[in-house]
Amino acid sequence: ALCKPLDEAFSLWKKLLEHPGVPRVRSPEQSLSSLQLLAALYRLQHKPIQALESFLLLLSLCRRLGDRSGAANALCQISRVLLQLGSPAQAQV
């Protein structure tokens, strides 16, 4: 029950980012922060797969916005989750 709002937010972000191009959002910076927070909350809930998927959405948005440092940070977080899941080969790629 506690994860239902997170799952709904994830679903909305996934739907928003399923189309190519930069999504129409009021504040790109706030959108990036929202996705980072979503992924962090999933990690705190011990839901690494959902955290991984959230970080992948964050990476997609960072790339679309041309935010290279944000993309690098998202990649680091993705690697971290993959290592925690015991997938060092995928983390290395």
Are 77 and 39 within 8 A, CB to CB? yes
Q: Is pLDDT of 85 > 90?
A: no
CB burial of residue 34 (10 Å; 0-12, 13-18, 19+)? middle
Q: Domain residues of the chain, as ranges?
A: 29-88
Average pLDDT for the chain: 90
> What residue type is 52 in one-letter code?
L
pTM of this structure? 0.88
Confidence label for 21 from pLDDT (cuts 50, 70 and 90): confident
